[in-house]
């Protein structure tokens, strides 16, 4: 895992600890995406769809912290896990 770029390592860590949410995990889908008002994601999403949603969520979060330099991904991961 050390040979992966930092963002990819973040994705791997979330996937490992979060796991893929399936039916019965409402209001969470994919790898810990909390459904927001008006969102309609299926709890039966594929791993590829869940991966895409996770990356979009992490990137959106990262945009808030990118000014923190080397700590940006750490803050992104923390914020994602807190919700």
Question: Can you tell me the mean pLDDT for 48-68?
Answer: 97
Say if 65 falls within a structural domain: yes
Say if 32 falls within a structural domain: yes
Say if 69 falls within a structural domain: yes
* 11: containing domain: 6-82
Question: Can you tell me the mean pLDDT for 46-69?
Answer: 96
Please check whether residue 44 is in contact with residue 22, taking contact to mean a CB–CB distance below 8 angstroms.
yes
Please check whether residue 65 is in contact with residue 74, taking contact to mean a CB–CB distance below 8 angstroms.
no
Structural domain count, the chain: 1
Say if 51 falls within a structural domain: yes
Say if 13 falls within a structural domain: yes
**Bond before 15 cis per omega within 30 degrees:** no
Say if 73 falls within a structural domain: yes
Say if 1 falls within a structural domain: no
Say if 43 falls within a structural domain: yes
Q: Is the pLDDT of residue 24 over 80?
A: no
Q: Is the pLDDT of residue 20 over 90?
A: yes
| Share in percent of the chain as helix, strand, coil (round to 5) | 60, 5, 35
């Amino acid at each position: 895992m050390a040979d992966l770029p930092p963002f990819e390592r973040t994705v791997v860590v979330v996937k490992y600890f979060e796991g893929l949410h399936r039916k019965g995990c409402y209001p969470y889908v994919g790898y810990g995406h909390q459904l927001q008002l008006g969102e309609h994601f299926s709890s039966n999403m594929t791993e590829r769809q869940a991966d895409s949603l996770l990356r979009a969520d992490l990137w959106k979060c990262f945009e808030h912290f990118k000014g923190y330099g080397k700590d940006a991904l750490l803050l992104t991961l923390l914020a994602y896990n807190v919700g």
